[in-house]
Amino acid sequence: MLRLTLTQPRDERNARLVWCVFFVALAACLLLGNRRSVTPHYDRAARHWLACADLYSHDGRGFLYLPQAAILYIPLSLLPDRAAEVLWRLLQIGVFGVGVLRLCRLAEQTGRVRLFPLVTCISIPLAFSAARNGQSTLIIAGLMMLAVGEIARERWSRATVLLCLGLAFKPLTLVLMLLAAAMYRPLIGRLIVGTLIVLALPYLTRDSGYVTAQYAACWEMLGLAVQRGIDEPWAQMFGLLETFGMHLTEPVQTAMRVGAAGLTLLAAWQAHRNLPAHRCAMYLYALAASYLMLFNPRTENNTYALVAPAMGIVCAEAFLVERRYVLGTIQLLFIGGTLGSFEVGSWLAPSFEPIWLAPLMCFGFTGTLLSQLAREVRADAAALEPAALPVCLPHRFAS
């Protein structure tokens, strides 16, 4: 039934319409007085930049981004508040939706089934909270997905621009930048130059002394924010462990983050060596997103919007391409647990902070993602095994 109702051209047109309805519903919510929004932090930072005032507090709260994010928000800060809120959501949902479509196109090259409709049905519910709050998670997720699409086509300069723009919006993009640089040599120099340009641009808009002071305050703020992420339970791996009584010291957490980064790099390298470019690019995004959710010190429940498209693709492929219904059902459980992480977590363990279920679901998803990657690598290696070729073929064909 899924194949009949979610894989036709008209279903893809309907999926695009669903993204429009998503934006209209959010815009209506904003115009009716939604008060759950972080955009005042962006607006305040943009106005402070124009006034050469301090951007950052000194407690690890509030505006937690590079000065470039404040500069990028300046055009919206000049508009009335409601108009700025609506246009900010339009930018978020537009970039995220186009990114989801691009990531689906990468996965669809393996088969002939359209994945975008079902992935849309999975991504939008998981993205709702981040979109309502106005968090830039959706923007950087969209830019990261567009970037891996350009990497698959070996359009290195375009990929660099997208990744550097993502870095300007939110430093979390750095994880994908490092992974991509490790995988693709043509990106190394471009990303270094692009990052230097991003860091230098604020000096073109304000006095160098003021910019340098804001960079120093930003560095202090990031340190405080990370420390809060270590000292308090958040919706990541160490928050999950602490919820159930396993408190790990800061050095142990750092060592585990480094070890997980190494395993992520190894998995990405296996994909790069053994899989087609479009498939490798899809895994590159999924691995980076999973690592960020589990090991970023300040992951929140609504940050899991970033990994939602990868979850959606694995689930859609299980149902629509591979017909592995048990795997698809397991993925739906991971998705449902992530979506209801606060409510279900509170119901299952009312005495605990409801930040444990989303990382648990993401840990399970990451396990199935790595298992699927290993299976694809083995299948690719078997397909290239010379012994699998007919022995009667001349050597020039067998090679």
Q: What is the mean pLDDT of the chain?
A: 89
Q: Give the pLDDT confidence score for residue 391 in this predicted structure.
A: 39
What mean pLDDT comes out for the span 80-96? 94
Residue 366 lies in a domain: yes
On whether the CB atoms of residues 319 and 328 are closer than 8 A, the answer is yes
Residue 388 lies in a domain: no
Residue 389 lies in a domain: no
**Helix or strand (DSSP H, E) at 20:** helix 9-31
- Please indicate, yes or no, whether the overall pTM of this predicted structure exceeds 0.85: yes
Q: Give the pLDDT confidence score for residue 111 in this predicted structure.
A: 61
Residue 396 lies in a domain: no
Residue 392 lies in a domain: no
**Helix or strand (DSSP H, E) at 367:** helix 357-384
Residue 394 lies in a domain: no
d(CA 141, CA 145): 6
Q: What is the domain range of residue 78?
A: 2-380
d(CA 128, CA 159): 27
Residue 73 lies in a domain: yes
Predicted confidence (pLDDT) at residue 269 exceeds the cutoff of 60 = yes
Q: Give the pLDDT confidence score for residue 218 in this predicted structure.
A: 92
What mean pLDDT comes out for the span 287-302? 95
From the list 181, 114, 172, the residue with the least C-alpha distance to 306 is 172
Residue 387 lies in a domain: no
Say how many domains are in the chain: 1
